[in-house]
Copies of this chain bind each other. A is one copy, B any other.
Amino acid sequence: LTVSPQPSSALDAALIEIERSLGPSQVATDDEIRQRYGHDESEAVPHAPDAVVFPATARDVVEVMRVATRRLIPVTPRGGGTGRVGGSVPVAGGIVLSLERMQRTKAIERNDSIAVVEPGVVTGELHRQVEAEGLFYPPDPNSAATCQIGGNIAENAGGPRAFRYGVTRDYVLGLQVVTAEGSLLKLGKRTFKGVTGYDLTSLIVGSEGTLAVVTEATLKLIPKPEAVATLLAFLPDVRSIERATIAASTGGVVPRCVELLDREALTIARENALTPLDDGRAHAMLLIELDGDAAALARQVERCGNALTQAGALKVVSASDPVERERLWETRREMSRALRARARHKLAEDVVVPLSRIADLIDACQTIAQACGLRAAAHGHAGDGNLHVNFLWDRDDQTAQAQRAVRKLFEAVIAMGGTLSGEHGIGILKAPYLGLEQSDELIAVQRRIKRLFDPYAILNPGKIFG
């Protein structure tokens, strides 16, 4: 089933009904707002919706979905708009359903170690709220300052701390969702464990807003680590990344992050650094972060540093003071922006390979980029084998080469036993490549699940399966 362009009479009627029910301040159709909600932070071509609706409650969402189903109006749910694959771009028009006004933290249950939140809560804000209670919500996508929990759930967001602590799905215990047809369902549990029935919670997490709209989430929290320390290790060659990453888990203690800058990224970082990073010999840099009990941590940093040196590191520096730690993070955090300043065009991909293939992946990026007349730089979550590969070019007529490079990259990643996306999702930008990773039969099963949840194909149409 696909939705044909909705006749404007159906759309107008739907908007009148929604406005009558939700109130006029919750429906916007003026050009400026429509434009603003027509793009995300990816290279996906913007597409302004016909209207933006701002529900304040789950009942509002139920009402919108009922009307949309009755009138066959496409609905694209939207969080902070920080997506990297066009997942919240309303390619079929219709309604953008922005959850930003549902931004209450309904509860932080300290002793039960859970938080109950609405989807519009900004992730960084949740971090602050739970940390004030001595608790910790590990997922930390780079966009934490502006992205929202609802979007994190839709994309199963990760971030540096995923190496030790896992991704969003690992912290979603239960969900309240509204189906395409407007039913309110409570999925999952409030407890850490629970195996009653099928795990629909995990199915909704990462479904990119194509199966249901999340209106509330119950999140698992853990105790806030007492202390944190950060190390930088400068490595002589790309082959030592694997060895150093394994060495960083000394004594069975897994670092919370193992982040990487490859040679090209490190070169740019050096040029941007206010104080020299190293003597220029290194071909890669790892940023490692450990956390835990304060006294144990000092010893762990020493052990980890020694292990990194033994694994071949040319230089290791560490910091446990927050200000110093922030300085060590700066090069890593600013890399995406720094790369953008280096070329007129940048295409960033988010691929994953087994750790044993990470050097092969970095080599492949350079080979592919050269063959296509582009430059490449990679950085990201080395511990998880999850790299953000950037192709850079300056001439407007090189777009086709960049597309060719991306396809070659995906083919190489799949051949290495990897996956197309580690944390950004498929959205519209990667939809054409889904068949590289998944069989027709597996895609067909997923399409049947999509149809089960959304029989009229009105919920975020065009995503994942194209």
Chain A 282-298: CB-based contact to B (< 8 A → 1; otherwise 0): 00000000011111100
Ranked 9 nearest A-B pairs via Cβ: A296-B296, A202-B202, A251-B293, A194-B419, A225-B252, A112-B354, A193-B422, A226-B251, A223-B252
- The closest CB in chain B to the CB of A352 belongs to B191
Q: How far is the CA of A238 from the CA of B420 in the complex (A)?
A: 50
Which of A60-68, A265-273, A436-444 makes up part of the contact surface? Answer: A436-444
Q: How far is the CA of A466 from the CA of B29 in the complex (A)?
A: 49
The reply to whether B422 and A355 contact each other, CB–CB distance below 8 Å, is no
Does any Cβ of B come within 8 Å of A195's Cβ? yes
Chain A 352-369: CB-based contact to B (< 8 A → 1; otherwise 0): 111110000000000000
Residues on the B chain within 8 Å of A189, using CB: 352, 419
Q: How far is the CA of A385 from the CA of B384 in the complex (A)?
A: 31
The reply to whether A224 and B207 contact each other, CB–CB distance below 8 Å, is no
Does any Cβ of B come within 8 Å of A196's Cβ? yes
Q: How far is the CA of A170 from the CA of B167 in the complex (A)?
A: 10
The reply to whether B252 and A136 contact each other, CB–CB distance below 8 Å, is yes
Does any Cβ of B come within 8 Å of A166's Cβ? yes
Residues on the B chain within 8 Å of A459, using CB: none
Q: How far is the CA of A206 from the CA of B296 in the complex (A)?
A: 37
The reply to whether B293 and A195 contact each other, CB–CB distance below 8 Å, is no
The reply to whether B249 and A223 contact each other, CB–CB distance below 8 Å, is yes
Q: How far is the CA of A413 from the CA of B456 in the complex (A)?
A: 38
Task: Please tell me which one of the listed residues B293, B423, B452 contacts residue A452 in the complex, with CB atoms under 8 A apart.
Answer: B452
Task: Please tell me which one of the listed residues B207, B291, B293, B452 contacts residue A250 in the complex, with CB atoms under 8 A apart.
Answer: B293
Q: Which chain A residues numbered 170 to 215 have a C-beta less than 8 Å away from chain B? A: 170, 183, 185-187, 189-200, 202-203, 205-207, 211
- The closest CB in chain B to the CB of A113 belongs to B355
Residues on the B chain within 8 Å of A246, using CB: 111
Tell which of A202, A420, A464 has the most Cβ of chain B within 10 Å. Answer: A202
Minimum CB–CB distance from A227 to chain B (whole Å) comes to 8
Does any Cβ of B come within 8 Å of A381's Cβ? yes
The reply to whether A192 and B254 contact each other, CB–CB distance below 8 Å, is no
Does any Cβ of B come within 8 Å of A10's Cβ? no
Residues on the B chain within 8 Å of A381, using CB: 193
The reply to whether B442 and A186 contact each other, CB–CB distance below 8 Å, is yes
* Contact A186-B439, Cβ < 8 Å, known A193-B386, A418-B191, A446-B200: yes
Q: How far is the CA of A299 from the CA of B227 in the complex (A)?
A: 15
The reply to whether A384 and B191 contact each other, CB–CB distance below 8 Å, is yes
Q: How far is the CA of A352 from the CA of B418 in the complex (A)?
A: 37
Which of A17-25, A48-56, A93-101, A154-162 makes up part of the contact surface? Answer: A154-162
- The closest CB in chain B to the CB of A156 belongs to B195
The reply to whether A300 and B296 contact each other, CB–CB distance below 8 Å, is yes
Does any Cβ of B come within 8 Å of A340's Cβ? no
Does any Cβ of B come within 8 Å of A125's Cβ? no
- The closest CB in chain B to the CB of A212 belongs to B445
Does any Cβ of B come within 8 Å of A303's Cβ? yes
Q: How far is the CA of A170 from the CA of B198 in the complex (A)?
A: 15
Does any Cβ of B come within 8 Å of A44's Cβ? no
Minimum CB–CB distance from A269 to chain B (whole Å) comes to 24
The reply to whether B425 and A193 contact each other, CB–CB distance below 8 Å, is no
Task: Please tell me which one of the listed residues B155, B250, B354, B464 contacts residue A114 in the complex, with CB atoms under 8 A apart.
Answer: B354
Q: Which chain A residues numbered 131 to 155 have a C-beta less than 8 Å away from chain B? A: 136, 155
Does any Cβ of B come within 8 Å of A424's Cβ? yes
In the assembled complex, 29 residue pairs joining A and B whose CB atoms fall closer than 8 Å, in A order, are: A112-B354, A113-B355, A156-B199, A170-B170, A183-B441, A186-B439, A190-B354, A191-B384, A191-B385, A191-B417, A191-B418, A194-B352, A194-B419, A196-B420, A197-B443, A198-B207, A198-B211, A198-B464, A199-B202, A199-B207, A200-B449, A203-B203, A225-B252, A226-B251, A226-B252, A292-B296, A296-B299, A296-B300, A445-B452
Residues on the B chain within 8 Å of A183, using CB: 441
The reply to whether B192 and A385 contact each other, CB–CB distance below 8 Å, is yes
Q: How far is the CA of A199 from the CA of B201 in the complex (A)?
A: 10
* Contact A196-B426, Cβ < 8 Å, known A112-B355, A293-B296, A445-B185: yes
Knowing that A169-B202, A198-B206, A200-B445 touch, tell me 11 more A-B residue pairs with CB under 8 angstroms: A109-B356, A166-B166, A166-B170, A193-B385, A195-B206, A198-B207, A198-B464, A223-B254, A251-B292, A296-B296, A445-B453
